[in-house]
Amino acid sequence: MRLLFYALIASLVGTCSYPPPMIDQIVELGELRVVTRNTPTSYFVGPDGPAGPEYDLVRDFADELGVTLVIETVDSVSEILPRLMDGQAHMAAAGLSMTESRRRFLSFGHPYNSVDMHLIYKLGAGRPRSIDDLVGRSIEVIAGSSHSEMMAHLAEVYPGLEWTENADVEVVDLLQKVANDELEFTIADSTEFNIQRHFYPDLRVVLDLDVGDPIAWAFKKGDGDSLLLRADEYLIRAERSGFLAQVNDRYFGHTEKFDYVGTRAFLRHFDTRLPRYRPTFEDAGDQWSIDWRLLAALGYQESHWRSHAVSPTGVRGIMMLTEATAEFLDIQDRMDPASSIYGGAEFLTRQMERIPDSVDEPDRTWMALASYNVGFNHLKDAMQIVEWQGGDPNTWVDVSKALLLLSNQRWYSRVQYGYARGWEPVLYVNNIRNYYNIIRWITANEAEADDDLQPKTEPGSNSAIEIASAD
C-alpha cells in the first residue's frame, strides 16, 4: 500500500498536477515520521518504553491526526537535516533552536519552549573573566549545533578563539569530559545542564551566551505549510490546556533547584551508607512492586539512610514512620532497618491505592509521595482547590501549586482538613525526584560496566542478538 501511495504521488507530479498537501499525504499514508535525538531532553527508551518530552508531544499530535507515530533516532544533530531534505522524515522534534543556517533549509513552527545557552567549566579549573580569557584554552562543542554557530559568531569578535567540533557525541558526553578534566569548556543548553549537574556537581556556568533561545519543531521548506500549521494549532492548544506544562514538569520540574552541597553529600552517602541497605530496598521493591530506586530515594529524603534517625516530632527510622503508622503496619521496632524499609514500601503502596484511578503515571507516584509526607486528606484538599480553580486535579503540576495554598487562610479556611505547610510536600517530592534520577543514572552506569566485563560473543555465534532501532 505504501508503494502504491508513493506511485500515486509520482504520477501526479509526472502529469504536472500538484501533490496533495503534506498533512493529507500523512493521513493517507497513516504514518507521521519524526526524526529526533536520543537524549534526556528529547527522546529515550525508559523502563516503561519510549519516553521524553518530544516523544510525549509528537505521540499526542499523531494521536490527534489519527496516524501511527514512527520515530527515527539519529546519533548527531548534523544528521537531522538530511533526513528532512530527502523526505525520510516529515518533521524534526529534537529540541532544535532556530539558527540562521537552519532557516535557510527549514521552516520552524510555534516555539514551545526556550533555553539559555550556558558556557560550562569545572569548579577550581580557573574561571575566565571574559571571552578573551578563553583564547588558547580547550573548548569542544557538538558539530552542526547551535553551539557551534555561537562559537563561529564569537570568533568574529575574538579572532584568536579556537574550538573543536565533534559530531559523534552528545552534550552529556562533553559535560562528562569537563567533569573529568579532559576538557576545559563546553556549551550546554539550560535544560540539558539542569539535568546533568546533579550527576556532576562540580560543573558551573561561566556565563550565558544566549538567553531565551526559542525551541521549535522543524519542517522541510518547500513542502507547503499544511503540516506546520496543523502542528502549530496543536501546540497552541497544548499550551492553553496545560498539557505542555505537564510534560515540562514531568521531565524538567525536579531539575529547577540545585543544592551543590546536598548533591555531593548524596553521592558520598550512595557509596558509604546505601550498600548495607540496598538488598533490603531491592527485596522490598520486588515484594510491593515498586522500583527499589524510588524507595531508596524516599529513604534518603526521610533519614539520609540513617537507621537510628529521630525527628523532633517523634518519627523515626530509615523511612521515618510515625508511631501510628507503625502500629497500623504492625511494626514492632521502627529502628530496625528491614522493618522500616518494608513498612515504608507498604505505606507508600497504600498511598498509591488511595490516589484516584484517573491519575496516570508518573503523576500518580508524585501524588503518592506527597501523601506519604503531608497525608492523603491534605492532598485531597489540594485536588479540590484545583477543581475550584478550573485546573486538572489529575496532574501533579496543578496539584503541587494548590498544595502551596494550604498555608494561605483564604484557601485553607475553605477546605475540609484546613491548614497545612503545603510547601513541604512540594519540596519533598522534588528532592525525591532528584535523588531517584541520580540513583537511576548511577545504576544504569553500573549495568553498562557489568556488560563491558562480560565475555564478548564470538563472530557467527548463535547467541548474538541484533537490537533494532525504535522504528
Strands (E) in 10-67, as ranges, are: 31-37, 44-46, 49-51
| CA-CA-CA-CA dihedral for 154, 155, 161, 166, to nearest 10 | 80
For residue 283, pLDDT over 90 is answered with yes
Give the rounded percent of residues in the chain with a pLDDT score beyond 90.
63
> According to the model, what pLDDT value does residue 466 have?
26
Q: What whole-number distance in Å separates Cα of residue 366 and Cα of residue 429?
A: 6
- Predicted structure pTM score: 0.67
Of the candidates 233, 302, 327, 346, the residue annotated as catalytic is 302
The pLDDT value recorded for residue 467 is 24
For the chain, the first-to-last Cα distance in angstroms comes to 18
Query: Does the structure show a pLDDT above 90 at 168?
Result: no
In this prediction, residue 463 carries a pLDDT of: 25
Pairwise CA distance, residues 110 & 92, whole Å: 13
SS3 (DSSP) at 186: strand
Tell me the sheet residues that pair with 73: 36
The model's pLDDT over 297-344, given as tens digits with 9 standing for 90+, comes to: 999 999 999 999 887 667 889 999 988 899 999 999 999 999 999 999
Q: What is the mean pLDDT of residues 395-407?
A: 92
pLDDT computed for residue 458 by the predictor: 39
For 192-221, write each residue's pLDDT tens digit: 898 888 778 899 999 999 999 999 999 999
Distance CA 243, CA 247 (A): 6
Cell numbers representing residue 322 in the block = 510515625
Average pLDDT over residues 349-362: 95
Summarize pLDDT for 121-132 with one digit per residue, the tens: 999 888 998 899
| Residue-wise pLDDT tens digits, 6-54 | 555 555 544 445 678 999 999 999 999 999 998 888 988 765 678 889 9
Task: Indicate whether 350 pLDDT > 50.
Answer: yes
Which residue did the predictor score with more confidence, 406 or 450? 406
The predicted structure's pLDDT at residue 134: 93
Distances (CA, A) of 117 to 95, 144, 147, 244: 13, 15, 8, 22
Spatial distance between the Cα atoms of 4 and 136, rounded to a whole number of angstroms: 58
The C-alpha torsion from 418 through 424 and 425 to 428, rounded to 10°, is -170
Residue 414 has pLDDT above 70, yes or no: yes
Predicted pLDDT at 152: 93
The CA distances from residue 345 to 178, 304, 339, 458, in Å, are 38, 16, 10, 43
Task: Pick from 46-50, 247-251, 348-352, 411-415 the range whose average pLDDT is largest.
Answer: 348-352
Strand, coil or helix: what is 205? Answer: strand
Coil vs helix vs strand at 4: helix
DSSP-derived pairing of the beta strands 164-166 and 203-220: unpaired
pLDDT at residue 271 tops 60:
yes
Task: Give residue 210's pLDDT.
Answer: 92
Q: Residue 45 is placed in which grid cell?
A: 527508551
Q: If pLDDT is split at 50, 70 and 90, which confidence band does 101 have? A: confident
pLDDT for the residue 449:
62
Q: DSSP class of residue 188? A: E
Length in residues, the chain: 471
Residue percentage of the chain with pLDDT more than 70: 88
Cβ atoms within 10 Å of 304's Cβ, excluding its own? 14
Reduced to 3 states, what is the DSSP secondary structure of residue 174?
Answer: helix
Which domains are seen in the chain, by residue range? Answer: 2-113+216-253 (3.40.190.10), 114-212 (3.40.190.10), 260-432 (1.10.530.10)
Does 446 qualify as catalytic in the annotation? no
Name the strand (E) or helix (H) holding 53.
helix 53-65
Place of cell 502500629: 327
> What average pLDDT does the chain have?
87
- As a whole number of angstroms, the distance between CA 318 and CA 369 comes to 16
Q: Are 156 and 108 in contact (CB under 8 A)?
A: no
* Dist CA 278 CA 383 (whole Å): 35
270: nearest Cα among 404, 382, 438? 438
pLDDT digits (tens, 9 = 90+) for 44-54: 876 567 888 99
Residue type, 127: R
Cβ(69)–Cβ(56) under 8 Å? no
Task: Dig out the grid coordinates for 464 from the structure.
Answer: 548474538
Range name among 137-151, 152-166, 361-375, 408-422 with the lowest pLDDT average: 408-422
Q: Whose CA is closest to 186, among 160, 211, 204, 168? A: 204
Rounded (5°) CA angle 105-110-116? 85
Average pLDDT in the 345-363 region? Answer: 95
Q: Pick 89 or 47 by higher pLDDT.
A: 89
